[in-house]
Amino acid sequence: MASQNRDPAAASVAAARKGAEPSGGAARGPVGKRLQQELMTLMMSGDKGISAFPESDNLFKWVGTIHGAAGTVYEDLRYKLSLEFPSGYPYNAPTVKFLTPCYHPNVDTQGNICLDILKDKWSALYDVRTILLSIQSLLGEPNIDSPLNTHAAELWKNPTDKAIGSPPYSRPRQRGNPSSLPDTPGQLSTHLLPQALHGWLHTPAHLHQ
């Protein structure tokens, strides 16, 4: 029996070489070849805080990881995302969703992302690396004029508003590994708010409630 603890990079190289189609067949089509190239480009890019690999041996379904950028309230946090590529890729945008709950103005409770390059601003010139870097940037610079999470958007615009004292947003996160994320978006809120709230939320009075 093959080991279940495979190196994701090695498994991804194998998937790229195989060139699997969405149906699981081994036929090499233009989309498969494009994704092979994107995988290799991403693996060799050296970009910090982003990575993605095909899920199992299917090049058309990937799992990505994004680390919050330094200097933002998402710093030290890690998020997993799913990326599904249509047969019309790269002329049609992939479907990208957060798998890890993320409290953010442009992310809803189902993990859907409001990002123009994944919608009407998509271009065949974009690739997986572009997508991951754009989402990483979006974490620290949300578009509060087009929110999916209106409460998060209001908190971002008005960090001193009394709404921050209402449950579940008044409850600080537990101490521990910052990468060990709670299961619900509400539990994440206290350290996923604008930088203006960061100090308020980490005062001893709130940490020891």
| pLDDT at residue 193, as a whole number | 52
Q: Which one of 7-21, 42-56, 153-167, 180-194 scores highest in mean pLDDT?
A: 42-56
Which distant-in-sequence residues (6+ apart) come within 8 Å of 48 by Cβ? 67
**pLDDT band, residue 71 (cuts 50/70/90):** confident
**pLDDT band, residue 78 (cuts 50/70/90):** very high
Q: Higher confidence at residue 188 or residue 67? A: 67
Q: For residue 5, what are its two tokens?
A: 């603890």
Calculate the average pLDDT of the chain. 75
What number is the average pLDDT over the span 167-195?
41
Q: Higher confidence at residue 206 or residue 152? A: 152
Residue 86 has pLDDT above 50, yes or no: yes
State which fold the 8-148 domain adopts: Ubiquitin Conjugating Enzyme (3.10.110)
**pLDDT band, residue 11 (cuts 50/70/90):** low
| pLDDT at residue 181, as a whole number | 44
* Structure confidence by residue, pLDDT tens digits, 127-167: 999 999 999 999 999 999 999 999 889 888 887 654 433 33
Residue 114 a catalytic site member = yes
| pLDDT at residue 175, as a whole number | 35
Contact (CB, 8 A) for 166 and 155: no
Given the residues 66, 114, 131, 181, the one annotated as active site = 114
d(CA 66, CA 110): 17
| pLDDT at residue 149, as a whole number | 93
In sign, the C-alpha dihedral spanning 134, 160, 176, 101 is negative
What number is the average pLDDT over the span 21-26?
44
pTM, full prediction:
0.70
| pLDDT at residue 57, as a whole number | 85
Sheet holding 95-98, edge to edge: 50-55, 58-67, 78-84, 95-98
**pLDDT band, residue 116 (cuts 50/70/90):** very high
* Structure confidence by residue, pLDDT tens digits, 181-193: 444 444 444 444 5
